[in-house]
Amino acid sequence: MTRRRDDSSRTRALAWPKRALRALCLAAALGAVAGCASQVGKENAPPSAAPFAAPAPDTLALAERAWRERRYGDARALLDRVLLSDPGNPRAKYLAAELILAQGAPQAAAEAFAALVPSPEVGAVASQGQGIALLLVGDREGAYKSLRRALEAAPTLWRAWNALGYYYDLRGAWEQASNSYAQALKVNPRAAEIYNNRGFSLIMQRRLAEAKANLRRAIRLDPTLDLARDNLRLVLAWEGKYRQALAGVAEADKAKALNNVGYIALMRGDLANAEAFLIRAMEMDPSYNVTASRNLAYLRDRRAIEAAPALGGVEPR
């Protein structure tokens, strides 16, 4: 399910609160160029200038590279120059949709991708992006159709395979999820995002040793992928290694980590530690009050059930 590289490299939540997503308005700055009245005679007037200079031929390629490197500000600035001179360019419009997705507005991104699906030039990757965005807004079946359409047109779209693995994880279809991640890795064996997602899939199946290996591989491939580190903390929590799970967490992320570890402790039946972690999460960051308090309510219900006397075989009168 997080700094976000793409849709499918996320930390998939068990009981994390959903953070507000910042919407990106990728509008070209179409400022008018005002002309000044010339005081010189007509014969001395300079030739009229274009309102803006056309971008260099490689500007779009540079914007795409900046997007891949997660330099979204640079990508936006370069892309705006392309869209000013060529607003109908399908590659530029596709990149605009990817930037909207990368900056946390999946509904808007899904709409932008949908408009590009009929394009012969970018239709396959637009279907991929649409599928990823629809997964993020919760439209699973719409996402599945878009991802299958993308892969039928271009079977080497590894992000589509990766997202399809996530779709199957949501359904508990572990074998199909595993096959999808394997297909993604055939295309791009060095994509840290795939190892992260496969690692989380294995956590959900309680295959902790395999999950740990995948997540560590993701971190080796991309040391900046904080999602994989977060997921590795979950593995350690499932193993009961709470101190290790919380070691080295930045102060700004401490409440999130405490909530996550507390939830895992709750799922393990370790109610005393779960309560302590969840209360600390609420104390450190009030934004966790709703989620942590729900977890605490569940914890107390479990305690009440466990404390209730067992029903024997007494026949009712």
Residue range 47-95, pLDDT digits in tens: 334 445 567 779 999 999 999 999 999 999 999 999 999 999 999 999 9
| pTM score of the predicted model | 0.77
Whether 172 has a pLDDT exceeding 50, the answer reads: yes
> What phi, psi does 186 have (nearest 5°)?
-60, -35
Residue 190 contacts by C-beta under 8 Å, 6 or more apart in sequence?
Answer: 221
**How high is the pLDDT of residue 6?**
41
117/39 Cα distance (integer angstroms): 52
More confident residue, 292 or 154: 154
- Using pLDDT thresholds of 50, 70 and 90, give the confidence band for residue 292: confident
Residue 125 contacts by C-beta under 8 Å, 6 or more apart in sequence?
Answer: 94, 150, 154, 157
- Using pLDDT thresholds of 50, 70 and 90, give the confidence band for residue 189: very high
Q: E strand or H helix at 94, and its extent?
A: helix 90-102
Whether 159 has a pLDDT exceeding 60, the answer reads: yes
Residue 178 contacts by C-beta under 8 Å, 6 or more apart in sequence?
Answer: 165, 198, 201
Residue ranges per structural domain of the chain: 241-303
Give the position of tokens 């946390």: 104
> What phi, psi does 176 have (nearest 5°)?
-70, -35
Q: What does the chain come to in residues?
A: 317
Range in 35-44, 99-108, 188-197, 214-223 the model is least confident about: 35-44
Average pLDDT, the chain: 82
